[in-house]
Amino acid sequence: MSTPKLVQGYEVVIGFETHAQLSTNSKIFSRASVAFGAKPNTQACAVDLALPGTLPVMNQGAVERAIQFGLAIGSHIAPKSIFARKNYFYPDLPKGYQISQFEIPVVQGGEVSFFLGDEKKTVRLVRAHLEEDAGKSLHEDFIGQSGIDLNRAGTPLLEIVTEPDMRSSEEAVAYAKELHKIVTWIGICDGNMQEGSFRCDANVSVRKPGGELGTRREIKNLNSFKFMQQAIDYEVRWQIEQIEDGHAIQQATVLFDPDTGETRAMRTKEDAADYRYFPDPDLPPLVIASDWIERVRSELPELPRAMAQRFVADYGLPEYDATTLTQSKAMATYFETTAQACKQAKLASNWIMGEVSRRLNAGEIGIEQAPVSAAQLAALITRIADGTISNNAGRQVFDALWSGEGTDVDALIEVKGLKQMSDSGALEKIIDEVIAANPDNVAQFKAGKDKAFNALVGQVMKASKGKANPQQVNDLLRSKLG
C-alpha cells in the first residue's frame, strides 16, 4: 500500500455503507410492485401496510440478486443466513420494525478493486445483507402535518458495507463509482441515484498517521458522486478544525446540505436507539443450496475487470483504454462490436474515447442513445484504415452521421467528395507541377533543409484539395526529388 495522502498532517479514514435497490418487479416480502413514481400509497398492499394477520414471504429474485453480487465480488455466500427485526417507531415504518439481517448476513467478505489514476486500489467488504426499505415521510405540502407514502415500504435493498479502507475522498468516490458499475453491470440494480436506487452513507474519521482510529461521523444518503466528494471534503476539514481547536469528535450521524456545502449533525450517539435486534420468527433461516449458487455463477456475465483484462490481451489495448471502455457494459459492447467489425481495435478505442465520448458528454446522453451506431463507426474506421479517406475527412463523415445528415458512410464520402486521391498518375502530375513551380524549395531541400520538404508536401496537399493521401505524397515526392 502506498503512503496515504495527508490532509494538514491528518490521515483520512473512510468506510462506506451503500444501499442498492434490487431490480426486482415486486417487493422483498410482498407482491406489490416497486415501480418508481406511482401515486402515493397505490403500491402498498396489506403486507406493506402491516395490517393485522399479514406475514412476510421472501422474494426469491431478491436472494438471487444478492448471490449474483456476492459472486461478482468474490464473497462467501452464506449457506444459511438469518433475518432479524430492527425495532423502532417511525410513521413510515409500518410494522414498527424493519426486517433486515444482523448477525448472519447472506454475503460475507469480498473486495472491490479499481484504479485511482494509475494506482490500483482494493477495498475490502465486510458484508452485504438483504433488507426492506421504509416508506417516505413527506413534510412539505401538508401544513402542520406530515404525509406518509408507503409505496417504497418493502422495496428490496442490498446494504453493502466496507471496511474503513479508503484514505481520501477521491478514493471513496472511485470506490462508489466502481461499486455502482458492478451492480448495474450485473443488472441487480438500476443505479438511478436521483430516484434513490443507489444511496451511500460515508463513515468518515481522521487521525494522525499511525494513531488509533478517530471517532467517526456518518454522512447519510449521499445520492450523487459530486456531493459525495464535497461532503467528505467538508467533513474532513471540519473534523480537523475541531481537533485542532481542542474539541473531541462526537460520534454522530450527519446530513450534507448541497446548498451550503456543509454537513450538520442529525443525531449524536447519546440519542442512538436500542434497536432490540432479534431473529424474525416469521421467516425461517434463508438456506441457499450450493447448486443454486453454481447456477447463478454459470449465468453471471463477464465482469468489468475480467473484460478489461481481456481487452488488453485480445485487442492489445493499453490498460488505460481497457479500463475506460469497461466503465459500462453498453460502452464495452459498443467498443467490442466496433472493433470486431473494423478489425482496428486501437483506432476504435481512440474514436470512442475521443470523438464519441466528447459528443456524449456534450449532449449529456449515454452510449445507448448515441446516433452513430457501432456498425457505422466501424465502417468509418475501415475507410480511414484502408486509406479511402483521411482522418480529417473521417471527422467530417462522423459529424454528418451524428447530425443525421446521412446514415451510409460510403455514400457520405461520395457526396462530400472526401475520397483521397488514389490515382497515382493524377497525383504525379500535381507533384510535377509543384516541383516545377517551386524551384527555391526544391533547392533548399536538396541542400538538406527538411522544412522545405514539408512546404512542398503542403503545396501538393493544397493543390489536391486535401484529397491526396499524405503518406503517398511523401513517398512520391521523396522518390522524385531523389
Q: Which residue number, 99 or 384, has a Cβ lying nearer to another protein?
A: 99
87 or 333: whose CB is closer to another protein?
A: 87
Q: Which one among 2, 37, 55, 361 touches another protein, defined by CB under 8 A?
A: 55
Give the strand pairing for 217-222 and 252-257. parallel
* Nearest residue (CB) to another protein, 54 versus 309: 54
CB of 359 to another protein, least distance (A): 51
Assess contact for 463 and 430: CB atoms under 8 A: yes
Q: Candidates 38, 50, 255, 360: give the one binding another protein (CB under 8 A).
A: 50
C-alpha cell at 265: 449533525
Q: Tally Cβ neighbours within 10 Å of residue 116.
A: 17
Buried b (16+ CB within 10 A) or exposed e, 144-165: eeeebbbbbbbbbbbbbbbebb
258, 249, 175, 172: which is closest to 217 by C-alpha?
A: 249
Closest contact distance (angstroms) between CB of 146 and another protein is 8
- Cα separation, 311 vs 313, in Å, equals 6
Show contacts with another protein in window 257-296 (CB under 8 A).
274, 276-278, 281-284
Q: Toward another protein, which CB reaches closer, 96 or 318?
A: 96
Q: How far is the CB of 140 from another protein (least distance, A)?
A: 17
CB of 92 vs another protein, minimal distance in Å: 9
Q: Which is nearer to another protein, 95 or 152 (CB)?
A: 95
- Say how far apart CA 278 and CA 421 lie, in whole Å: 80
Q: Does 144 bind another protein (CB under 8 A)?
A: no
Look up residue 468 and give its three cell numbers: 491526396
**Residue 119: in which H helix or E strand, if any?**
strand 119-132
Which residues in 84-123 contact another protein (CB under 8 A)?
Answer: 85, 87, 89, 91, 94-97
Cβ of residue 269: shortest distance to another protein, in angstroms? 13
The nearer residue to another protein, 150 or 347, going by C-beta atoms, is: 150
How many CA atoms within 13 Å lie on the side-chain side of 172?
33
Q: Which three cell numbers stand for residue 436?
A: 516545377
Smaller CB separation from another protein, 109 or 147: 147
Q: How far apart are the first and last CA of the chain?
A: 59
* Residues engaged in binding another protein (CB under 8 A): 46, 49-58, 85, 87, 89, 91, 94-97, 148, 274, 276-278, 281-284
